Amino acid sequence: MADMTLATSAREAIPDLPVAHRADRTLLALDLGITTGWALHGADGLITSGTVSFRTGRFDGGGMRYLRFTNWLAELDRLSGPIAAIWFEEVRRHAGTDAAHVYGGLMATLTSWAELRGVPYEGVPVGTIKRFATGKGNANKDAMIDAARARGFSPADDNEADAIAILFWALETKGGVQ
């Protein structure tokens, strides 16, 4: 292997930024659910966010939600990517059985999509996100929306606000390293 000819190594030039957090990388944060909130830090540094619905239609089979989610991820990767890292809200308790099933299916789809492409991913506990955004680990939906607005965003709902909070948590803590 050839010796490096640079005066400083890449590690010394940018000592405090891990590879997945370089400014020229696309980072994705998700709040998984039937209505999924998303926030994207583009390679150009621009942050965009929104929601996407994976509600099934009357005549859809059980797997259509997950096929649509896979296609949405692929399209996001194609248009804004390549996606360098993904963070998602790690929910340990759901209000209902249906919500738990949808979350589990979306998480399985997301993690297999990421594994196939070699994209690192990490779940972030709900309390960690809420504490980071509002200072309270049990903040309500309105408090999360207010926290996103305080950062200059106008989230459509709490799903988008949560995704924005996850993205900023990942950026400011370098993915939980600090």
- Secondary structure (3-state) at 87: strand
Enumerate the domain spans of the chain. Answer: 26-173
Confidence of residue 3 (pLDDT cuts 50, 70, 90): very low
Per-residue pLDDT tens for 105-117? 999 999 999 999 9
CA separation for the pair 160, 148 (Å, rounded): 9
CA separation for the pair 116, 127 (Å, rounded): 29
Say what the pTM is: 0.83
> What residues contact 24, with CB distance under 8 A and at least 6 apart?
43
pLDDT of residue 103: 93
- Secondary structure (3-state) at 28: strand
Superfamily of domain 26-173: Ribonuclease H-like superfamily/Ribonuclease H (3.30.420.10)
Q: Is the per-residue pLDDT at 153 higher than 60? A: yes
- Secondary structure (3-state) at 41: strand
| Lookup result for tokens 């903040």 | 139
Per-residue pLDDT tens for 49-75? 999 999 999 999 889 999 999 999 999
Across the chain, what does the average pLDDT equal?
Answer: 87
Inter-residue contact 65 to 102 (CB < 8 Å): yes
Q: Phi first, then psi: what are they for 57, rounded to 5°?
A: -85, 175
- Percentage helix, strand, coil for the chain under 3-state DSSP, each rounded to 5: 45, 20, 35
Helix orientation angle between 141-150 and 126-134, rounded to the nearest 10 degrees:
50
Q: Is the per-residue pLDDT at 10 higher than 50? A: no
Strand order in the sheet with 47-53: 47-53, 35-41, 26-31, 83-90, 121-125
